[in-house]
Amino acid sequence: MDRDRRKILRFIGKGSVVAAFLGQIGAAGRAFFPNVLYEPPSRFKLKRPADYPEGYTLDAAHRLFVIRQKDAFHVISAICTHLGCNVQWKDTEFDCPCHGSRFRPDGTVIGGPAPRPLEWFATTVSPDGFLDVDSATEVARDFRLIIGGKGKA
Amino acid sequence: MGDKLSALWRKVSWAWSPESERESSEAIVKNFWLHWFPAKVARASMDWNYSFWLGTASAALLLILTVTGVMLMFFYVPSTERAYGSIKDLQYAVSFGRLLRNQHRWAAEGMVAVVYIHMARVFLTGAYRGTRAINWLVGVALLLVTLLLSFTGYLLPWDQLAFWAITVGTSIAKQAPVLGPTIQFILLGGHEIGQQTLLRFYVLHVFFLPVFVLVLFAYHMWRIRKDGGLAVIERVRNDRVMAPKAASKTKSYSLFGITPGTSVQVMSSTGLEESDQVFSSPDLSRRMMLVFLVVFNITLLAALLFNAPLEGLANPSVTPNPAKAPWYFVWLQELVASTTVRLGDFTVSGALLGGILLPGFLLGVLTLWPWLDGSSFRTEGRWLAPERRRQNLTFAIATLAIIVLILVGVYLRGPYWRIYWPGQPRPEMPRLY
């Protein structure tokens, strides 16, 4: 009886030290996961549709291409699906300077190490008439934003 | 006056230049800087052509890196806005700042090379058998931490090399199964590269990794003594067993060498004869100081002659074309660029295969090698033992493959990571900033 009580007390004593220690480690580890991120939003405005010429236009700041085919617009990410470098548009294909991935004009892979096609971003026109890109939402490769009349949706 | 000065100097320095065998032995006990050495060491382990003193050279580089690194910390600001400027200041505004940074950079690249060649020496002499397997493991860990220190180091200037190395490096980490995205998130301190990222890599570089290296280094040294010195001693001992002699009455001058089961009167702790041994001071201490001096002079000369590279300010909008890793990581860049496997619709990214699985496999084989090695213990401490030819060949081929990949990456890769043979014209790429 006395033995058992000692055992239990010893277990509680040692256990509390171990628990406190593990808890401290856990708390310290948790601090490395930020709760507040000071990052730009994944949804942002570009220029007005009419500001884009026909063809492929790089928006370097947002790391994407705006593609205009007459009244139809779509937006393709410039971030290589392999390891995150910026691909460049070379008249007929996208090429990546880091590991040599190559993509067709619609973003599908021609060759190189890229495992997936370039992402297509959901695009709308904001009420005040700017292209509005949601880089967190992917769309299929038949997506087209048709702007009727003189640059109005 | 002069006599008094020289007497004083003798009081300070006698341990380093003992004038009798008795002083040699006392030096080990009485001098703090010598106390971690045994009183005597095997003559064979002093041989320049056995170890090439590569471990000592690595330690010398570590010392140079620690001193120059702490100096650099007085001038470097780990902020995305000021880091690049503080490096420019070191180059142009701080007296001898450029020299300091150059020496830090060349010593770092030298350390990667020397640590690897040190490992090659240990492998090719079969010096990882028995209890020395533990030190092999510590050595593999030290190689890994050396590479991590280099990686975190070249991120700090916050130039284009730094930014795109973090981009690629953390993207590889993201490919790890299950935990990948979490690892990337915790490394970046968010979803994008920013202030948190720089600060995290900075603290890793100037505190956690160096402390880790120092602990492993201390253990590495301690193990050498516990294992009875360099493996070449086993060769000497094996040769002795082949040619038995009458038991000698040698004894160790220091009591520190006694281990269980060994009596002072019968044999010394290393089981070597007196003629096989030399005093640590001055035979070991002077050679060590010579290696330190030579290594220091080489890095200083390199720092005087060649400037450490610095690319343009980090710019997330523009990837340099081509974006090349430093030479010691280029072979990994070649691997991630060429190991994507496509089977119909099923794709395994080169980032996973060449960036994680293949290096992980290499590291695993390297770690387990002492237990995969089935050769006899008679090969221990012998350069290129015939019995280990297959093993040595395997190591040589793996090393050669890495060197070929490095040469291809450094010399043949041009814009868009395409191969350009020597003489073949390379397209002029506009320099974007």
ipTM associated with this complex:
0.90
Q: Residue B246: its pLDDT value, please?
A: 52
Percent of chain A residues topping a pLDDT of 90 = 91
Taking an 8 Å cut-off on Cβ atoms, the answer to whether A115 and B185 are in contact is no
B341 — contact with chain A (CB < 8 Å)? no
Taking an 8 Å cut-off on Cβ atoms, the answer to whether A99 and B350 are in contact is yes
List all residues 6 or more positions away from B423 whose beta carbon is below 8 Å from its beta carbon. Answer: none
**Chains A, B: CB pairs < 8 Å:** 96
Q: Residue B266: its pLDDT value, please?
A: 40
A39 — contact with chain B (CB < 8 Å)? yes
pTM of the entire structure?
A: 0.91
Distance CA B301, CA B291 (A): 15
pLDDT greater than 90 at residue A22 = yes
Q: Residue A153: its pLDDT value, please?
A: 47
Q: Residue B431: its pLDDT value, please?
A: 66
Question: What does each of the 433 residues of chain B score in pLDDT, given as a tens digit?
Answer: 789 999 999 988 999 999 999 999 999 999 999 998 999 999 999 999 999 999 999 999 999 999 999 999 999 999 999 999 999 999 999 999 999 999 999 999 999 999 999 999 999 999 999 999 999 999 999 999 999 999 999 999 999 999 999 999 999 999 999 999 999 999 999 999 999 999 999 999 999 999 999 999 999 999 999 998 999 998 988 887 665 555 554 544 455 555 554 444 444 444 577 888 999 999 999 999 999 999 999 999 999 999 999 999 999 999 999 999 999 999 999 999 998 888 877 888 889 999 999 999 999 999 999 999 989 988 999 999 999 999 999 999 999 999 999 999 999 999 999 999 998 888 877 766 5
Taking an 8 Å cut-off on Cβ atoms, the answer to whether B417 and A84 are in contact is no
B332 — contact with chain A (CB < 8 Å)? no
pLDDT tens-digit profile of A100-124? Answer: 999 999 999 999 999 999 999 999 9
Residue B430 CB: number of other CB atoms within 10 A? Answer: 5
Distance CA B352, CA B350 (A): 5
Distance CA B180, CA B178 (A): 6
Distance CA B146, CA B328 (A): 11
How many Å lie between the alpha carbon of A82 and the closest alpha carbon of chain B?
7
Which residues of chain B are within 8 Å of residue A112 when distances are taken between CB atoms? 337, 340, 417
Which of B196, B321, B348 faces A34 most closely, judged by CB atoms? B196
pLDDT tens-digit profile of A28-78? Answer: 999 999 999 999 999 999 999 999 999 999 999 999 999 999 999 999 999
Determine the longest span between alpha carbons in chain B, in angstroms.
89
Q: Residue B262: its pLDDT value, please?
A: 45
Which residues of chain A are within 8 Å of residue B317 when distances are taken between CB atoms? 60-61, 63, 86
Q: Residue B239: its pLDDT value, please?
A: 81
Residue of A nearest to B323 (CA): A98
Residue of A nearest to B342 (CA): A115
Q: Residue B342: its pLDDT value, please?
A: 87
Do B272 and B257 form a contact (C-beta atoms < 8 A)? no
